[in-house]
Amino acid sequence: MNAKHPSVSRREFLATTSAALLAGSAAATKSTAADSAGAPKLAINGGEKAVKVAVKRARRWGDLERERLNAMLEQDSLFYWKGPQTTLALERYKKIYPLKYAHTCTSGTAALHIAVIAAGIGPGDEVITSPITDIGTVIGVIYQQGVPVFADLGACTFTLDPADVERRITPKTKAIIAVHLCGNPCYLNALKAIADKHNLILIEDCCQAWGAKYRGKPIGTVGHIACWSLQDTKHITTGDGGVVASNDERFGPILQKCGDKGADRLKGGGFQMFATNYRMNEPTAAVLAAQLERLEGFASKRAMLGNLLTEKIAGIPGIRPHQVHPEDRCVYWFYFMRFKTEAFRCNRAEFVKALAAEGVSCSAGYISVPLHREPVFQKHAFFAGHWPVREMGLTTMDFTKHQTPEVEAILQNGIRFTIHEGMTEEYILGAAEAVRKVAKHYAV
Ligand SMILES: *Cc1c(COP(=O)(O)O)cnc(C)c1O
């Protein structure tokens, strides 16, 4: 049996069980909340809500952070180099992520920019990545005068499709940035094999994947360079911040100067290379050191909640749950599922509205269009209305013609569920019941 495609018998089994469950709940509420067909009345039509518990965001910081910040106040310098908070934060980070070289920086965008500087991405070099991501994934590529090349994604994994990545390789390709979207690990073995075969650098964008694991290994440890964000919406945060790390002797030793104006603080020697200032200060590192202590708790809770949702909505006709490899840990920065338009009498917006009325925290889609369909890409206008590498003939990239069909479909029929560590199993069970109820109501 293929793990990605549950056998028909399992699907049938789930369908039968769910029908029985639904019949049970319908019977229990028949006199008060059932419609003429005997199905439970939707909350949007005045029925009882499927979600019966309130959801509260857990406290994200407290005594652990206070203790570190108090220690920081006793220092006479708040500069990062050899700073006690930065040192402690990186020590704790390396316990979770066994990478020899790790550096703090100001954002995920900064971490990714440092990574492409270290990787030697230069004018006209192509970097293959995902078009469903934060624009920070490619800002550094564009600043180094590289060319982002957007590949298509797996239909329900929402991560790079290795076959499509390989199709887009040209003699100019220098790197792949694998985005672990939603905290779901990419097909790293396949991507690493492609990178090795074509002599490419594999950069992992782990910004949405704090605590995720690929085949039991912490995310960020398979590729050549890994990048994390500590922006306020991520699993752990310092408000803004980032980490960049590597085990590779070609890149690891230069990460520090690639984020610190090109200055090598260990060896000195003036400015041997060009880079900007992405240094994280000690107050921020103090918060990071404390947040790292909270990471495993947050990550395991989110993984459990997301997996439970998948288990409970499996087999609903027209709904395709978030697909995660059974040996991986997805940390669900959010939960994404696909809505098969042709299976329902309503459109996605109406479906989401009905779910929200049931008490589910959800929304339609994620970013509105693939990155390359944003105006700044369509106009090729990155630098004061110009894109020098194109004007100089170093690339023929035309973002108005770039196509990623599965990505378009994902953004048109994806439904996004909020998952966070303050949620309970009871909430997830209610949310799953809501999906079942709304799907049944609108089924064709
Ligand atoms: C948040 C995010 C970034 C950018 O991180 P910032 O800290 O906001 O600069 C990059 N890539 C992905 C996938 C992200 O989610």
Measured in Å, residue 135 CA sits from the centre of ligand 1 at 7
pLDDT of 34 > 70? The answer is no
Q: What is the pLDDT of residue 37?
A: 57
pLDDT of 393 > 80? The answer is yes
Contact 69, 283 (CB under 8 A): yes
> Measured from the CB, is residue 229 less than 6 Å from ligand 1?
yes
> Using CA atoms, how far apart are residues 182 and 323, in angstroms rounded to an integer?
11
Measured in Å, residue 337 CA sits from the centre of ligand 1 at 21
> Using CA atoms, how far apart are residues 80 and 241, in angstroms rounded to an integer?
13
Measured in Å, residue 241 CA sits from the centre of ligand 1 at 10
> Measured from the CB, is residue 238 less than 6 Å from ligand 1?
no
**Closest ligand 1 atom to Cα of 179:** 13
pLDDT of 18 > 50? The answer is no
Structure-block tokens of residue 268: 């000195």
Measured in Å, residue 105 CA sits from the centre of ligand 1 at 13
Contact 405, 155 (CB under 8 A): no
pLDDT of 373 > 80? The answer is yes
What dotted CATH number matches 63-292? Answer: 3.40.640.10
Q: What is the pLDDT of residue 272?
A: 87
pLDDT tens, 256-315?
Answer: 999 999 999 999 988 989 999 999 999 999 999 999 999 999 999 999 999 999 999 999
pLDDT of 22 > 80? The answer is no
Closest CA to 204 of 130, 94, 123: 130
- Domain segments of the chain as ranges: 63-292
Q: What is the pLDDT of residue 38?
A: 63
**Closest ligand 1 atom to Cα of 112:** 10
In this prediction, residue 57 has a pLDDT band, given cuts at 50, 70 and 90, of: confident
Measured in Å, residue 231 CA sits from the centre of ligand 1 at 7
Global pTM? 0.92
Measured in Å, residue 107 CA sits from the centre of ligand 1 at 7
Q: What is the pLDDT of residue 35?
A: 52
pLDDT of 12 > 70? The answer is no
Structure-block tokens of residue 224: 């050549």
Q: What is the pLDDT of residue 58?
A: 86
pLDDT tens, 105-119?
Answer: 999 999 999 999 999
> Measured from the CB, is residue 107 less than 6 Å from ligand 1?
yes
Q: What integer is the mean pLDDT of 351-358?
A: 98
**Closest ligand 1 atom to Cα of 234:** 1
Q: Which residues share a beta bridge with 337?
A: 415
pLDDT of 92 > 80? The answer is yes
In this prediction, residue 2 has a pLDDT band, given cuts at 50, 70 and 90, of: very low
> Measured from the CB, is residue 237 less than 6 Å from ligand 1?
no
Closest CA to 190 of 172, 178, 206: 178
Helices (H), 123-182: 136-143, 162-167
> Measured from the CB, is residue 108 less than 6 Å from ligand 1?
yes
Q: What integer is the mean pLDDT of 3-16?
A: 41
